Amino acid sequence: MNTWVQALLKPEPVALMVMLVLVVSLVQGLRSGASGSAKRLFFFVWTAALVVISLLLAGRGAAFLSPHLRAYLIERNIVVPQEQLGALSQFWYTFVTSIRDFELLRFGLLFLLCYMLLRFVLGFLEPLGAMLFERYRSGGNGEPRQELFPQAASRTTGAAIGALLGAGRAFVVIAILFVYVSLLPDGPLTDSIRASSFYNKTADELLQPVAGDVLERGPVLTGAVEAEFRRVLQRKYEVIDSAVPDNIAEAAHAVAKDAESDREKARALYDWIGSRIAYDWDKADNYVEQGIWKEQTPADTFGTRKGVCIDVARLYAVMARTVGLEVRVVTGQGADGRGGYGPHAWNEVRLADGGWIPLDATWASTGDWFDPQHFERTHIRESSITAMYGES
């Protein structure tokens, strides 16, 4: 509890937002208790009870519906068209395939939908609450009943219920933020949300019990959520990169034309990209020092002959797919040469015998990083996505 409170008190956007929700709910509870109106306090307690019931039922409902929704989307056999897609189509295919393949995101979205539906339906029970209150007030014989709580106790009760209501509302805020950063991993404020210690702490202590069996099969929630962000971001790249420009396709076929096996094709592309794409130190420095990220497509990387690791990995994946290779972009941590690790991206290619081999074209200028021994000593994978078809 102490670490949870400490995370809440840190001056970061998520903590401030949740603090505001808690304070507003607490003030509402105090005002309802201090008003001296038993009816007002009763309906405040009624609202809080409906929020708690909705949260519990929404968690159960999402856990029940999640596998059924996945099965339905698999049956639909949704395949991203290999043609130039508009922004709306890109978002749609990213959304549908991410909901199909990524369990945490699917659970989070279903949880919010179930919660909103339950709140709407349970809202029709307000007349029942009014009837119960009037029945209580009349004592069943038409004579007013004595107040349930004295004034001081009423304030205390209102504050306690306000805190409970605020916690429920805060949970919904966290769930909304999770779905937002999952579907729009490079949207406004997503970096701040993902870096929030309060967000991570809340995810561990509040989302875990509600998600139940959905998360018991995986790692601790914080690590799973971080991996989910990366996977959705990679899925977005795969949808965007589904259309291969003619000049890139022509170059890929020219590079691999003399290769007789999958391994030779993969090697030829590794040598070509590794010797022609320079590392963009200006882009890397702008991101590290100023937080400015310059998004670029494989066509940009191919045209400028510059890029950072994710750009090189995306270009490799596009060219490899063009010549019939099954390829995936892998994200994780790469050795920095100083005894530490930093964010990195590379590729894996599947050979005809079914085995996957790793390669890192970004590092080609520093040595041979095409399926070397002990690759895992310098590359720590966090997640992977098969280009376009979702195997991880």
- Name all domains of the chain by residue range, CATH numbers in brackets: 2-238 (no CATH), 245-386 (3.10.620.30)
Q: What is the largest CA-CA distance in the chain?
A: 97
Task: Return the pLDDT at 134.
Answer: 60
* The predicted structure's pLDDT at residue 149: 47
Amino acid in the structure at residue 65: L
347 within 8 A of 330, measured Cβ to Cβ = yes
Token pair, residue 357, equals 């081999």
Phi/psi at 292 (nearest 5 deg)? -95, 120
Answer whether residue 156 shows pLDDT above 80.
Answer: no
How many angstroms separate the CA atoms of 164 and 169, rounded? Answer: 9
Residue for token digits 């505001």?
20
Q: For residue 172, which of 85, 123, 113 has the smallest C-alpha distance?
A: 113
- What secondary structure, in 3-state letters, does 25-59 show? HHHHHHHHHHCCCHHHHHHHHHHHHHHHHHHHHHH
**Mean pLDDT, all residues of the chain:** 74
Q: Is the pLDDT of residue 1 over 60?
A: no
**Could you read off the pLDDT of 346-359 as tens digits, one per residue?**
999 999 888 899 99
The structure tokens 């949870």 sit at: 4
Q: What is the pTM of this model?
A: 0.52
Which of 114-118, 128-132, 179-183, 229-233 shows the highest mean pLDDT? Answer: 114-118
pLDDT average, residue stretch 75-97: 72
Polymer length of the chain: 392
pLDDT at 386 over 50: no
pLDDT band (50, 70, 90) for residue 257: very high
pLDDT higher at 93 or 262 = 262
